[in-house]
Structure 1
């Protein structure tokens, strides 16, 4: 895939895609252009059935430091001339990225190699799992600039760590080390920095080997279940079973079990 300037997209292993935020000098702070490129890359991943897991990470020392407030982005400065344009920039920028992530029914892993703060933390929390280096820092620094958790943090932070802890983090502008972030629920797993890529790719590889249809349906069921009643969730489960149980992948999984071998799932 070509044409991107602020992200790098590749497929380092079979069935595994990777998106790298590529503004290392700015600690991968997002710009209007980066958001546009991310939306396109995420939509490409969603449509590509050969790709079964996505790793999202940052180049250099950081994952993502939130929005670029340096003023270096001329387009951003132009957008900020009126109060209405602030909301428009957010809706047309990072809001589209977070919504694109929320619509993906395949696994997305955030490989947090460094700072993930403010909108960068929101971006990580919009992924399904977060594997963090023991050198990573996570938190919400928006209040230090008089800004808000407006990229989706007001929705995602309390769901990850509880309302009281989310308020404390945002209102005080707190940033945590990786171990504390894991304890608070912001991180799925912490590993030594030198092992971050190995561990993340091992997880991605394991997910890519699972039955694609079942993975997508299970993820969709769990995401929907958080916003519906138990009765509606059970109804969704019954409908999903009608799709998954008669599939060739289920027949392959049962056959492989009795033959004492690894199944070879094809997503059918």
Structure 2
């Protein structure tokens, strides 16, 4: 069987992560997928050659979320039958994914190529940027199955679309099409399905062209600013700026500007 998560890195430092269970619409609750995502993110974080990543799904779905066929007790899914066992399954399983994203300083673009449902929507919200193909659909649909977002969706979604819209989506479980997702800020752009990966790579290339240390620190600062007060963010900004000023890429950027030429950033 092919790996549940595929990884590719090109010469420009753009990584592509592909959920690779198209026959099942790319569920993310299985151990093979959870381990694949977490291991891939950890490897990217440790690799200075990775400047930006694109996350997408194989086939016609981004991710269907949890595997409903495995939700019955003893079905091999997260539901262990006894509450204590189920709690442990979540902590050792799918909840590792948002923590892995939170530890990652490489920017990630979600290229949503079809339905992103339940945990699939939350996975897209773990990414830093989201663009959608015209056929993409989104739903925070846990309530329709009599469960709650067990993967951090209650924290993630409202930070993307605001509390009111997140509450509407979470309490109704209603589906949004791509245009509705664009209107509420869930995605930043909608493109023809055939152009999705091309557009995602073009966006990734713009990020990859910037000094990699500054890119990673900027992402870290943005994530920390979600939960810190202004004084803390200013203190972090001063410390990170001191590091940034000492990099070779900052010196190259200044020299290139003054010499009216295109800079060449090497990650120094």
Q: Which interval holds the TM-score relative to the shorter structure?
A: over 0.9
Of residues 10-19 and 182-191 in structure 1, the stretch that sits farther from structure 2 once superposed is 10-19
Contact 2:64–2:115 (CA<8 Å) still a contact in 1? yes
Is 1:63 the counterpart of 2:62 in the alignment? yes
CA distance in 1, matches of 2:75, 2:13: 36
> Where does the alignment leave 5 or more consecutive residues of structure 2 unmatched?
none
Quickly say closer, same or farther: Cα 1:72–1:241, change in 2 above 3 A. Answer: closer
Deviation per CA, 1:89-109, whole angstroms, max 9, x where unpaired? 211112111110111112111
TM-score, normalization by structure 1: 0.94
Deviation per CA, 1:62-112, whole angstroms, max 9, x where unpaired? 001111111399872486232222211211112111110111112111110
CA distance in 2, matches of 1:22, 1:125: 19
CA distance in 2, matches of 1:157, 1:72: 23
CA distance in 2, matches of 1:193, 1:14: 24
* Structure 2 residue matching 1:190: 3-state secondary structure: strand
Is 1:11 the counterpart of 2:9 in the alignment? yes
User: 5 Å matches for 1:1-268?
Assistant: 5-30=3-28, 31-71=30-70, 76-77=76-77, 80-268=80-268
CA distance in 2, matches of 1:189, 1:78: 34
Quickly say closer, same or farther: Cα 1:4–1:152, change in 2 above 3 A. Answer: farther
CA distance in 2, matches of 1:78, 1:150: 10
CA distance in 1, matches of 2:64, 2:196: 19
Deviation per CA, 1:134-181, whole angstroms, max 9, x where unpaired? 110012111111121111111111112222221211111111011101
Number of aligned positions between the proteins: 266
* Runs of 4+ with >6 A deviation: 72-75
TM-score, normalization by structure 2: 0.94
> Where does the alignment leave 5 or more consecutive residues of structure 1 unmatched?
none
Quickly say closer, same or farther: Cα 1:122–1:244, change in 2 above 3 A. Answer: same
